[in-house]
Structure 1
Amino acid sequence: MHVQLQQALQQARQQRQQLQQWRHVSCHDDQLLDFSSNDYLGLRRHAQVLKAYCDGVRDYGAGSGASPLVNGYQRPHRYLSERLAEWLGREAVVLFNSGFAANHSLLSTIGRHYQQVLLDRLAHASLLDGAQASGSRWRRFSHNDVHAAGQFAAQQAQTLLVTESVFSMDGDQAPVAQLREACPAADILVDDAHGIGLLGADGRSCAAQYSATEVDYLTITFGKAFGVGGAAIACRQEVAEYLHNFSRELVYSTAFAAAQAQAINAALSIIQSAEGQRLRDTLQHNIQQFHDLCLRYGLPITRQPAAIQTLILGAESRALRLSEQLREQGIDCRAMRPPTVAAGQSRLRIVISARHQPAQIQQLVLAIAAALEQVSDDPVSL
C-alpha cells in the first residue's frame, strides 16, 4: 500500500474515532430481541417464503448466471415484474439488486434529462449520489418544506422532485399531495422503500393513492416488508426500456437469483392476502402499544405512525451507551450517528414489527427507561 494512502486512511479513521462515528461490521446475535431490522411483517422467516426460495434453488440453481440482458432474466423474474406492474398500476417494473442501485441508476440516467433535480434534505444517500451523478443541477429543500420545494420548482420548467414515502431515520412521511400541488409541472420520484407492503390499500402504499401520471417513478425494495432482498423501479414502459439500455447498474450486474424472485413472489402473495392485512393490523396495534407505554413511562420518543420510531439523544456517546445498555439486557436496538443523521441528532432507531409480542414491547420500553436513567447519571455520556 502506498504510504500516502495508508496515512490518509489512518487519518480518516482517527477523525471518525474522535467523533465516535467509526463503524465496524459484526455478526447479528440471533439470541437478542431484535428491534433493529426492517423486517416489518416478519416475512423473512415465513414458511411460504422459505419454501419458495428452496424450490427456486432446486429448479433454477443458486444464482442467475448472468446480467438481465444476457440470460440472467428468467421466468420468475418476468412473472414478478408483471405482477408488480399490475399491483402498482404502472406500465413496467425493472428489477435491481438493491435499493441503492435502483435509486442511483434512475437518477444518474433519467436525471440528466431534467434541468434540475430537487431532493428533500433527508432523502436517502442513494438518491443524493444519483442526483450528483446525473450531471444536472441539483439542490435540496428543507425537510418536508412544501413552500420551499414550490419556489425552487418554479425556477426551472423541467424539474424532477425527489422524496420518500417514509423517511428511514425519522419514520415520518412526505406530504406528497401537497408537493404535487406546489410543484404542478414537476415530475415526481417517490422512494417507497419503507412504505410498500405496509401502507395504503392492500399494502400498495403510494401506488394506492397516486396514479402513474401523478407520481412518475416509484422505487420499491424487497428487503424490508417483503423480507427478502433486491429492489425495483415502477415506471412507464419507455423509461424501463431506456434503463435496460443505459443503466450501468443493470446492464453490468449479474441479476439476482431466480430463487430470490420466487421468494419475493411468495412474499407478495402474502402481502396481498388476508394474512397480509392481519399482519399490517398487528403492526399498527404494536406501534400503538409502544406509544402508550412510552407515554406511561415518560420516554420522549417522536411518535410516528410508521414502524420506525426514534429517541433523539443528541451526543454520539449517549446514543452508543444507551444502545450498549440495551444489548446487555438482551435487546438489539442500534444507535444512529452522523453522518447518517445530522450532527447533534444521534438517536436510537427503534423498529416495531408485526412479529413482536406485547411482552417483548413492554420489555423494550422498561429497558430503555432504565438505561436512560443510567446514561443520564453518567457524565461521560452527556
Structure 2
Amino acid sequence: MTAPPPPAPCLPAPCLPALFRQGIEAHLRRVREDWDGRHPLHGLRPRPGAVMVNHNDYLALARHPRIVKAMTEALGADGNDALMSGAFLYGEHPQLGLERALAAHMGAPAGILCQSGWAANTGLLQALARPGMPVYIDVLAHMSLWEGARIAGATVHRFRHNDIAHLRRRISDRGPGIILVDSLYSTDGSVCPLAEAAEAAGETGCVLVVDESHSLGTHGARGEGMVFELGLTGRVHFRTASLSKAFAGRAGFIASCDQAFTAHFKMGSHPAVFSSTLLPHDIAGLAETLAVVREDTWRRPRLQEVATRIREELTAAGLDLNGSRSHILALVAGDERQTMALRDNLEQHGVFGSVFCPPATPRTRSLVRLSLHTALTDAQVDHLINTCLRCCRPAPPHRPSDNPQLRG
C-alpha cells in the first residue's frame, strides 16, 4: 500500500486588520456582557426521556423507516451522481418528477425545487421583483423574504403584523406591488388572515407570496398546506416552503401559478443558476416523504390534538402564548439573560425548547419556542404542561415600539 503524502506545512495565518475585527469584538462583548460568558443557544445535554420540542419535525418523519430506506437505496445506487445546477436538468430526471408531484400535491400548475427555503425565497424575489418595485411585508415575515426583497433592489414597506387594513393603506399610498406573508409565523405561532390578504391583493392588483414553511404537511386533509385547505389556490400567486420542517428534508420549494415562470426562474435566479442541485438520496427521501405525508392521515389530527390541549391548558392557567393558534408556542421571557434563565429552568425539568434572540427577535422580546409534534405521548404532554406552569411567569405586555422593524 502506498504511504499517504506528508501533510502540508502549517503556515502562520494572516491577521485581520482592525477595521474588520469590529464585528468580532462586538460579538465577544455581547458574550461577556449580555450572556455572562455563555452561548444563548447552547444549554444542557438532554437526558433519556427528555421532552424534545426544539426541532421542526412536526409529523415525526425524520426517522421513518420507509424514508430512510428510500434514501439509503438511492445513495447505494447513485452515490452523489453529477453535481450541477438545476438549470441543466431536463426530460425524465427524478428531480423534475418530484417538482411535478409536489406542485400537484399543493394544487399548483408548476413547482420548483431549490437548495433550501432560504434559496427559494431569496431566489423568487430576485426573479420576480424589480428595482424600486413596492414590496409590502408583514413585520414578522421570515428574514429570507426581507433579504430577497433587498437583493432585488425593491422598495420595502412593512405593515403591522396581520393588520390587513394597514397593508391596504400602504398599497393605497405606494401603488400595486408584491405582498409577502407567512401562512404560519415561525416565531410566535400566529396565523395569517390569508383570505383577507388574498382579497387585498386581488382588489389592488398585487402579487401575493405566501411562505408555507410551517403549514405545508401539517394543514390540509393530506398535508397540502394552509392555502389549499382554505380554498385559496386560485388567489395566491406563489407559495414557498422549506422542506426541512414537516417534510424533515433538505430543500426548498416554490409552487408557482405560471408554468412559464419555472424556466425564467431557473435561468434568472442566482441561487438556482450558481448552486448545485439536490443529491439523488435527497430527492428519493423527499419523494417517499410526500407519499407518507399523504398516506398517514392520522399524523395531522394527532398534532392538532396535542397543540390544542397544551394551548388551552396553559392559557387557562394565565400564561401568555402571544396569540399562537398552532403547534408553535412562544414563551416570552424578556431580554437574553432572562430567556437563558427560563431555558435553563425548563431543561433542568426535562423540557428542551429553542431560544430565539436577536437577530431573530427584538432585544427585549427574546423567547423560548416550543415546537410541538406528533410523536409526543400523553405523558410527555402532561409533563410539558406541568413544567411550563412551574417555570414560566407572565410575559411583559408587548408594545409596537419593542419591534425595531416598526420604528421609523
Secondary structure of the 1:172 match is coil
Deviations 1:330-382 (A, max 9, x none): 33212212221123212111111001001111112222333337x9xxxxxxx
Question: What RMSD, in angstroms, separates the aligned Cα atoms of the two structures?
Answer: 2.5
Count of residues in Structure 1 that have an aligned counterpart in Structure 2: 372
Please say if residues 118 and 141 of structure 1, whose CA atoms lie closer than 8 Å, have aligned partners that are also in contact: yes
Deviations 1:140-184 (A, max 9, x none): 111111011111122344411000100000101111111222332
AA aligned opposite 1:220 = A
TM-score normalised over the length of structure 1: 0.90
AA aligned opposite 1:317 = R
Equivalence for 2:279: 257
Please say if residues 46 and 350 of structure 2, whose CA atoms lie closer than 8 Å, have aligned partners that are also in contact: no
Equivalence for 2:368: 348
Please say if residues 132 and 153 of structure 2, whose CA atoms lie closer than 8 Å, have aligned partners that are also in contact: no
Deviations 1:190-238 (A, max 9, x none): 0000011111232212134345541001102211111112111111112
Please say if residues 135 and 157 of structure 2, whose CA atoms lie closer than 8 Å, have aligned partners that are also in contact: yes
Secondary structure of the 1:44 match is coil
AA aligned opposite 1:232 = F
Please say if residues 202 and 271 of structure 1, whose CA atoms lie closer than 8 Å, have aligned partners that are also in contact: yes
Equivalence for 2:319: 299
Partners in 2 of 1:74 and 1:124 — Cα distance? Answer: 34
Equivalence for 2:144: 126
Equivalence for 1:332: 352
Post-superposition offset of 1:26: 8.5
Which of 237, 242, 247 is residue 269 of structure 2 equivalent to? Answer: 247
Please say if residues 40 and 336 of structure 2, whose CA atoms lie closer than 8 Å, have aligned partners that are also in contact: no
Partners in 2 of 1:154 and 1:297 — Cα distance? Answer: 43
Post-superposition offset of 1:115: 2.5
Larger helix share, 1 or 2: 1
Secondary structure of the 1:57 match is helix
Post-superposition offset of 1:2: 2.3
Equivalence for 2:255: 234
TM-score normalised over the length of structure 2: 0.84
Equivalence for 1:378: none
Alignment pair present for 1:361 and 2:381: yes
Alignment pair present for 1:149 and 2:149: no
Gaps of 5+ in 1: 376-382
Alignment pair present for 1:186 and 2:206: yes
Post-superposition offset of 1:73: 9.4
Gaps of 5+ in 2: 1-14, 396-408
Deviations 1:4-41 (A, max 9, x none): 14531332213433344965679975844311101000
Please say if residues 172 and 306 of structure 1, whose CA atoms lie closer than 8 Å, have aligned partners that are also in contact: yes
Post-superposition offset of 1:92: 1.3
AA aligned opposite 1:356 = L
Equivalence for 1:379: none
Which of 218, 221, 224 is residue 201 of structure 1 equivalent to? Answer: 221
**Equivalent residue runs for 1:215-234 within 5 Å:** 215-234=236-255
Alignment pair present for 1:96 and 2:118: no
Structure 1 residues 48 and 299 mapped into 2: Cα distance closer, same or farther (>3 Å)?
same
Deviations 1:103-152 (A, max 9, x none): 01111221117721111011111000111111121111111110111111
Partners in 1 of 2:184 and 2:24 — Cα distance? Answer: 36
Structure 1 residues 99 and 26 mapped into 2: Cα distance closer, same or farther (>3 Å)?
farther
Partners in 1 of 2:47 and 2:179 — Cα distance? Answer: 40
Secondary structure of the 1:202 match is coil
Secondary structure of the 2:26 match is helix
Equivalence for 1:380: none
Sequence identity of aligned pairs in percent?
A: 24
Larger radius of gyration: 2
Partners in 1 of 2:115 and 2:46 — Cα distance? Answer: 25
